[in-house]
């Protein structure tokens, strides 16, 4: 992957290990943003081009997740995708309970709790002290009033990964839909939406998918599209976007019905370029690189006497490794001064390599932690 590394100028300056917050900027992504600006200078409004760019992103997302464009909603964020899905549920009689976990990103918890005004109840199943989610505890929380199980694939705080196959099998055996938040896994490890079997999968394109803020997505099965009609909507969700009908609501028949208004056009350019590069690299190859760097990092932290809080078993962790600290902000700042970019959550620093990283980056991180050993828990 060394030839790809050369396409990310940030590595000329720092050891960038913060893809869980924002992917590194590739030369082609920068060029795509410049092409958007060039078009504005030369032609002004380019509606046909912009609409085509959204469809390009839809097709690239479908390729990345092994699905069809008709099951892809291109949204402004993962929050927008979840909110649109939530707006289509709980409209009549029937189950009104959402079962979720203690591992979720705030977006998911807050949107489901916002539905309490519509008579929805929300139950959070706590993970264990090791950050693993018990399938038995989840099973105990699902009852006849449960409409949805909403789970994160990889926890943003500690990198723990949910056993999605077990969750989906359990929920579907009870007749309950499943929504997966894949923001911290999409683009970093292989996900096949059709094989996974979830009803919904949401995320965003600015992390391991190499894009910019402003583009999220919601994958929605054809069955769910046929059964659910969002009440949170916009003109890009219409069956005919340019019909300009203000006298009715005629949503698209496929996942476009979960979209809203005018997309964040500049970000579509960036995301298209990032996805093209990621697909060229291959997610399987990217995961192989980062997995090897995880092993190097874990061994190095152990040698320092530090504590990795991310589970280590196969299938139990995602692309991020969390290391316990006594002062997370101080350690992030100290490592930054050493030219190593990481981030923090929940008392841990988060180290998140991707295919463009190498062993030298991990060694730089370990050397910095060695220098600031007093900040490791």
Going edge to edge, which strands form the sheet with 216-220? 72-75, 216-220, 200-204, 177-181, 146-152, 97-101, 121-125
Convert the pLDDT of each residue in 268-285 to its tens digit. Answer: 999 999 999 999 999 999
Is residue 180 within 8 Å of residue 224, measured between CB atoms?
no
Does the CA dihedral 285-220-81-157 come out positive or negative?
negative
In the chain, DSSP assigns E strands to 15-16, 72-75, 97-101, 121-125, 146-152, 177-181, 200-204, 216-220, 321-324, 340-341, 343-345, 348-351
Q: Say yes or no to pLDDT of 229 above 90.
A: yes
- Residue, of 242 and 222, whose pLDDT is higher: 222
259 Cα distance to chain centroid: 17
Domains and CATH numbers, the chain: 2-24+282-375 (3.90.1150.10), 29-279 (3.40.640.10)
Rounded CA-CA distance 275/164 in Å is 24
Convert the pLDDT of each residue in 235-271 to its tens digit. Answer: 999 999 889 899 999 999 999 999 999 999 999 999 9
Is residue 167 within 8 Å of residue 159, measured between CB atoms?
no
Convert the pLDDT of each residue in 50-66 to its tens digit. Answer: 888 999 999 999 999 99
What pLDDT, on the 0 to 100 scale, is given for residue 1? 72
Question: At CA 367, angle to CA 366 and CA 368, rounded to 5?
Answer: 90
What pLDDT, on the 0 to 100 scale, is given for residue 242? 86
pLDDT over 70 percentage in the chain: 100
Does the CA dihedral 195-198-202-207 come out positive or negative?
negative
pLDDT over 90 percentage in the chain: 93
Convert the pLDDT of each residue in 87-109 to its tens digit. Answer: 999 998 899 999 999 999 999 99
Is residue 73 within 8 Å of residue 220, measured between CB atoms?
yes
Rounded CA-CA distance 344/236 in Å is 37
Convert the pLDDT of each residue in 144-170 to its tens digit. Answer: 999 999 999 999 999 999 999 999 999
């Amino acid at each position: 992957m060394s030839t790809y590394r050369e396409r990310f100028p940030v590595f000329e300056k720092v050891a960038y290990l913060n893809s869980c917050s924002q992917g590194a900027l590739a030369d082609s992504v920068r060029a795509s943003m410049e092409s958007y600006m060039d078009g504005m200078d030369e032609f002004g409004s380019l509606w046909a081009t912009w609409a085509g760019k959204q469809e390009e992103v839809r097709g690239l997302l479908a390729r990345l997740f092994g699905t069809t464009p008709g099951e892809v909603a291109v949204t402004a964020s993962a929050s927008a995708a979840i909110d649109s899905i939530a707006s289509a549920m709980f409209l009549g009689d029937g189950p009104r309970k959402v079962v979720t976990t203690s591992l979720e990103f705030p977006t998911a918890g807050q949107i489901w709790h916002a539905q309490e005004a519509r008579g929805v109840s929300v139950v959070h199943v706590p993970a264990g002290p090791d950050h693993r989610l018990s399938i038995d505890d989840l099973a105990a929380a699902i009852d006849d009033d449960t409409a949805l199980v909403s789970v994160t694939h990889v926890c943003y705080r500690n990198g723990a990964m949910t056993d999605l196959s077990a969750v989906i099998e359990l929920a579907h055996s009870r007749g309950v839909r499943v929504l997966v938040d894949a923001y911290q896994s999409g683009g970093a490890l292989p996900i096949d939406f059709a094989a996974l079997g979830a009803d919904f999968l949401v995320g965003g394109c600015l992390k391991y998918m190499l894009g910019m803020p402003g583009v999220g997505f919601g994958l929605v099965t054809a069955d769910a599209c046929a059964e659910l009609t969002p009440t949170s909507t916009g003109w890009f969700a219409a069956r005919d976007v340019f019909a300009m009908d203000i006298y009715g609501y005629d949503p698209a028949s496929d996942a476009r019905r979960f979209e809203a208004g005018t997309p964040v056009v500049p970000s579509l350019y960036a995301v298209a370029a990032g996805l093209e590069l990621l697909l060229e690299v291959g997610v399987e190859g990217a995961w192989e690189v980062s997995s090897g760097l995880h092993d190097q990092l874990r061994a190095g932290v152990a040698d320092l006497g530090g504590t990795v809080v991310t589970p280590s078993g196969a299938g139990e962790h995602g692309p991020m490794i969390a290391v316990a600290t006594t002062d997370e902000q101080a350690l992030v700042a100290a490592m930054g001064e050493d030219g190593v970019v990481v981030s923090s959550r929940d008392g841990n620093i988060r180290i998140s390599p991707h295919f463009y990283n190498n062993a030298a980056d991990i060694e730089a991180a370990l050397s910095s932690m060695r220098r600031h050993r007093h900040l490791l828990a």
